[in-house]
Every structure is written in C-alpha cells, then in structure tokens.
Structure 1
C-alpha cells in the first residue's frame, strides 16, 4: 500500500478536531496531537489545522523519518502496520515491536542474528527483517504482522489496566488499530 493511501485512511478514521478530557493525548486534529504540529512550527488553533499540513506531518514524521518507506519495499504489510502503530503509539514504539518480534522469531539466532531493541531502524534491523523473510518465505510477512499486532494489543490492554480512564478507548483501539483495517 502506498503512503498516500495509508495517510488518507488514518485521517479518514481519525476525523478532524477532537478534544476528549480522558484522552491522554489531549486535543487532536486529523489524529495528530497538538505537540506534533507545534513542534513543526504550526501556531494556529488545533481545530483549524489544515488537512494538507496533517498529510505532510504524517508523511515526514510517521513514514519517512522512521524508515517505513524502506521497509515497504520488501514488506509492505509490515510497513503499513508500523505506520499505523507509530501514529497510535509513536514510531519508536512501533519499531521496538518489530525488533522484539524479529528476535523472538529468529529461532535462537539460527535464521539471522538477534538485534538490539533500540527502537531505531538501521542496517541490523533491515538485515534481520530480510533474513526473516528469506527463512520463512511467502507466509513470513503475515506471521511477523501478527506478532507486531499482538505486541500492540498487549500494550493497549496494559495501558487500560494501568489507567482506568483509558478503558473508554480500549474497544476502539482494538477494533480500529489491531488486525485488518
């Protein structure tokens, strides 16, 4: 899936301006928390954040900067999941899920060396991903996708357990963020 389609899907799912008191992210527009556009120099009201600005933020911060565009060249389903998880939980968390899953699936480093869970995509993460895909063949990407989704789901549940106010969002997170969209 291309980045434009992923970005449009997130924006369509998130909607425009929302400010729920229980949401730890605070005010959002197009699914983007206020701190992100402020960090990019946007000074207007959050409810007025232009969709075009949101698209560029998603492209630069949530697709290109973490390297999901490069992962998409070999594993487009994984890249799409990492993008969506990155929007929901932060790109470094998404990368950490990928690295943890790759380590757990390496068959004790027989298929490829385990990697540091440094939450950054570098040459070793790419090598592990390519080693996994080579070792596991056609169905490998689906299994890796399930593993990263399981980690994301576990984190959502743990968050709701730690902060009861977040239970209001758990159903939506699981329905709209985990599994096929």
Structure 2
C-alpha cells in the first residue's frame, strides 16, 4: 500500500466532522484537528475542511516530515504502522517507539548500537533498521511490528488510566489501531 492508499484508508476510518466532548483535540475532520488545520493555513469552519487539504497535511506532517517515507524504502509495513501511530499519537511518539524497539532488540548492542529515543528518524535509526532487518530476516519484520503494537497498546491504557475521559476512546483505539 502506498501513502495515497494509506491516507485514503485512514480518512475512511477517521470519518468526517467530529466534535466529541471528551476529545481534547476538539473538532476534527478526516482526523485532522482544528489546531493542526489552523497551523497549516486553513481558516474556515472545520466542517468545511477539504479532503484534498487533509490529504496534503497528512503527507507533509505525518509522512515526509518524520521521514516515514525513508522507512518505507526499507520496510513498507513498518512505515505504515508508524504513519498510523503518528497520526493518532504524534509522529515523534511513533519514531520513539521504533527507536526503543530497535534498541531493545539489538541483543545487547551486538547487532548495532543503541539508539537515543529522540523521536527523530535520522541516519542512526535508519542504519539500525537496515541492520535489524538484515540480521533478523523476514521474521524480524513481524517481531518489530509486534513490538510497536505493544508499545502503542501500553500507551493507550496509560492514557485511559491517567484521564478517565479517555476511556470513551480506549476500546476503539485498541480495536482499530493495534495489529
């Protein structure tokens, strides 16, 4: 699946205009929050956010800027997971999950050095991913995906524990975002 297909699937999953009272993000359309839309020049009512503008925001902020496109050149399924997590939790959180998982899976630095979990995909993260995929082969991709899902699931539960209003979203997050 390429980025355009991922964005289309995401927009279908996110739906149209929503303004749930328990959602700290406030009004959204196609999953784009009002704050993000405003920061990128959209001045109209959120109900009127054009689909093509949402698509452009997703590509710019949640694909190219965090360098998930670079990850996709190495492993499309990992990049797709990072994109989806990044949309829901922020790209830096998704990148940090990747860095943490890669560091935990490096067999005490025998395969590659530990990464600084700074939330930025750079040369060290890409080199670690390359090495991980080479050393672990096809099975490594599946294990890395499970690691990313585990980190994401733990964060969702923590969000609900810390803010009971998030319990309204927990079931959907776990059902629609994990695995």
Q: TM-score band, normalised by the shorter chain?
A: over 0.9
Q: TM-score, normalised by structure 1?
A: 0.98
**Mapped partners of 2:175, 2:164: distance in 1:** 18
Report whether the alignment pairs 1:23 with 2:23.
yes
Unaligned 5+ runs, structure 2: none
Task: Give the distance between the partners of 1:24 and 1:132, measured in 2 at CA.
Answer: 37
Q: Alignment partner of 2:133: what SS?
A: helix
C-alpha distance in 2, partners of 1:20/1:136?
Answer: 43
Q: Which runs of 4+ in 1 moved over 4 A?
A: none
Question: Secondary structure of 1:113's match?
Answer: coil
Tell me, in whole angstroms, the C-alpha distance in 2 between the residues paired with 1:134 and 1:155: 29
Question: 2:136, 2:11 → 1: CA distance?
Answer: 34
Q: CA RMSD in A?
A: 0.6
Q: Deviations over 1:6-45 (max 9, x none)?
A: 0001100001100001011111100011111101111000
Give the 5 Å matches for 1:41-80: 41-80=41-80
For 1:119-134, what aligned pairs fall within 5 Å after superposition?
Answer: 119-134=119-134
Which residue number in structure 1 is paired with residue 166 of structure 2? 166
Give distance in 2, aligned partners of 1:163 and 1:19. Answer: 18
When the two structures are superposed, what TM-score results if normalisation uses the length of structure 2?
Answer: 0.99
Q: Which residue of 1 aligns with 2:98?
A: 98
Report the CA distance between 1:144 and its aligned residue: 0.4
- SS of 2:132's equivalent in the other structure is helix
Q: Counterpart in 1 of 2:116?
A: 116
Specify the alignment match of 2:147 in structure 1. Answer: 147
The CA distance in 2 between the partners of 1:133 and 1:98, in whole Å, is: 13
Structure 1 residue 108: deviation in Å? 0.6
1:47 Cα deviation (Å)? 0.7
Write the distance in 2 (CA, Å) between the matches of 1:155 and 1:26: 20
**CA shift at 1:119, angstroms?**
0.5
Q: CA deviation at 1:146?
A: 0.7
Q: Number of matched residues?
A: 179
Distance (Å, rounded) in 1 between the aligned partners of 2:45 and 2:104:
44
Structure 1 gap segments, 5+ residues each: none
Give the corresponding residue for 1:14.
Answer: 14
1:150 deviates by 0.5
